[in-house]
């Protein structure tokens, strides 16, 4: 005989699974980021590429928190000298790893697997946002190699610095942020950074006035006029024309014969035949019995 307590436990377990089925069928919703951010003035923050040797670089971000003394000094070759070893954190803020800075787009954090990396190629430095599941990185900034010295990275258009905050309290974490959504940034990266908006079509031309239509009535595509409105290249009468033939037939009293008119000379609508270009118009004389 089966144990009644075990049978009751199985019944309760089956009922619980049925009750959870609607919940499991619902799609999972990603929780919104609990952090907010506030813009940081661009003249208070600088992005630096620090050399590690063998063509490797690391990103460091410095913040001028107090007006003086200065945290860094720029040089004409793009290199930068920093004075963080002589200043306190209250004067010169230092963000030296991914624990102190991260990516943010369209008001949302870009967490793992996204990361910032500096790559060198032909003396040029590129600050890239790289996702392990994305074939195309995002260009965040650029710089130039200046020997073995620390150099400044200029952020690309649309990117800037923001400070993380939580419930109105400012935190010691900086964002490299862009207001555009990630799909837009990825599309721009695939297109080589070009704009995504197509060029607006040109407006239709205004309707022609009566005088313009009359001026174009004797032209074809604005190039040449029909031969009937222009004089021929020669002033001689065309042999075989109808008045001349009728007069000749009446004078001789002979019946009309089927004759083909001789070939007519070419007439150039734009000028004489010596011109190297222009449109050639042919005079066609119909056969008249």
pLDDT digits (tens, 9 = 90+) for 202-247: 456 667 677 666 666 555 544 444 444 444 444 444 455 555 555 5
The domain tally of the chain equals 2
Average pLDDT over residues 255-283: 49
Q: Output the pLDDT for position 237.
A: 45
pLDDT at 198 over 50: no
Q: Output the pLDDT for position 83.
A: 96
Average pLDDT over residues 61-65: 97
**Count of alpha carbons within 13 angstroms of residue 184, beta-carbon side:** 10
Average pLDDT over residues 184-198: 73
Q: Output the pLDDT for position 183.
A: 94
Residue 210 lies in a domain: no
pLDDT of 20-40, one tens digit each?
Answer: 334 333 333 334 578 999 999
Q: Output the pLDDT for position 261.
A: 53
Q: What Rg do the C-alpha atoms of the chain give, in angstroms? A: 42
Query: Which single residue is written with the structure tokens 């306190």?
Result: 88
> Nearest Cα to 156, choosing from 175, 184, 177, 131?
177
Contact by Cβ (8 Å): 71, 92: yes
Same domain, 179 and 236: no
Residue 205 lies in a domain: no
Q: Output the pLDDT for position 248.
A: 60
pLDDT of 171-180, one tens digit each?
Answer: 999 999 999 9
pLDDT at 55 over 50: yes
> Nearest Cα to 120, choosing from 97, 153, 144?
144
At 117, the pLDDT band (50, 70, 90 cuts) reads: very high
Question: Which regions of 42-183 does DSSP assign to beta strands (E)?
Answer: 45-53, 56-64, 72-74, 80-82, 92-95, 101-105, 108-110, 115-121, 124-130, 138-144, 151-155, 160-166, 169-178
At 286, the pLDDT band (50, 70, 90 cuts) reads: low
Q: Output the pLDDT for position 34.
A: 87
Residue 10 lies in a domain: no
Same domain, 228 and 180: no
Top-ranked range on mean pLDDT: pick from 107-116, 171-180, 208-217, 266-275 = 171-180
Q: Output the pLDDT for position 39.
A: 95
Spell 236-254 as b/e; 16+ CB within 10 A means b: eeeebeeeebeeeeeeeee
Domain that holds residue 271: 222-289
Q: Which residue has the higher pLDDT, 146 or 255?
A: 146
Residue 267 lies in a domain: yes
Residue 14 lies in a domain: no
Residue 73 lies in a domain: yes
Q: How far apart are CA 116 and CA 100, in angstroms?
A: 12
Q: Output the pLDDT for position 219.
A: 52
Average pLDDT over residues 147-169: 96
Average pLDDT over residues 11-16: 45
Same domain, 171 and 102: yes
Same domain, 242 and 111: no
Helix (H) or strand (E) holding 281: strand 280-281
Average pLDDT score, the chain: 75
């Amino acid at each position: 005989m089966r144990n009644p307590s075990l049978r009751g436990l199985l019944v309760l377990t089956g009922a619980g699974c049925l009750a959870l089925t609607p919940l499991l069928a619902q799609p999972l919703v990603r929780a919104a980021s609990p952090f907010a951010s506030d813009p940081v003035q661009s003249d208070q923050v600088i992005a630096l590429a620090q050399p590690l040797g063998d063509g490797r670089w690391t990103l460091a971000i410095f913040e001028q928190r107090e007006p003086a003394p200065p945290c860094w000094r720029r040089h004409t070759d793009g290199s930068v000298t920093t004075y963080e070893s002589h200043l306190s954190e209250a004067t010169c803020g230092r963000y030296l790893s991914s624990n102190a800075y991260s990516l943010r787009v369209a008001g949302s954090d870009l967490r793992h697997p996204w990361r910032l990396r500096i790559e060198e190629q032909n003396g040029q430095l590129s600050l890239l946002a790289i996702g392990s599941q994305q074939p195309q990185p995002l260009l965040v900034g650029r710089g130039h190699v200046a020997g073995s010295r620390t150099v400044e990275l200029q952020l690309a258009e649309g990117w800037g610095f923001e400070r993380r905050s939580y419930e109105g309290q400012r935190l010691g974490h900086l964002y490299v942020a862009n207001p555009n959504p990630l799909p837009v940034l990825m599309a721009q990266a695939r297109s080589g950074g070009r704009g995504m908006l197509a060029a607006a079509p040109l407006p239709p031309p205004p309707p022609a006035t009566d005088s313009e239509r009359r001026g174009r009535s004797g032209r074809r595509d604005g190039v040449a006029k029909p031969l009937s409105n222009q004089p021929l290249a020669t002033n001689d009468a065309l042999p075989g024309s109808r008045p001349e033939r009728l007069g000749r037939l009446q004078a001789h009293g002979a019946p009309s014969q089927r004759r083909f008119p001789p070939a007519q000379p070419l007439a150039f609508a734009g000028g004489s035949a010596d011109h190297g270009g222009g449109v050639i118009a042919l005079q066609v004389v119909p056969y008249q019995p």
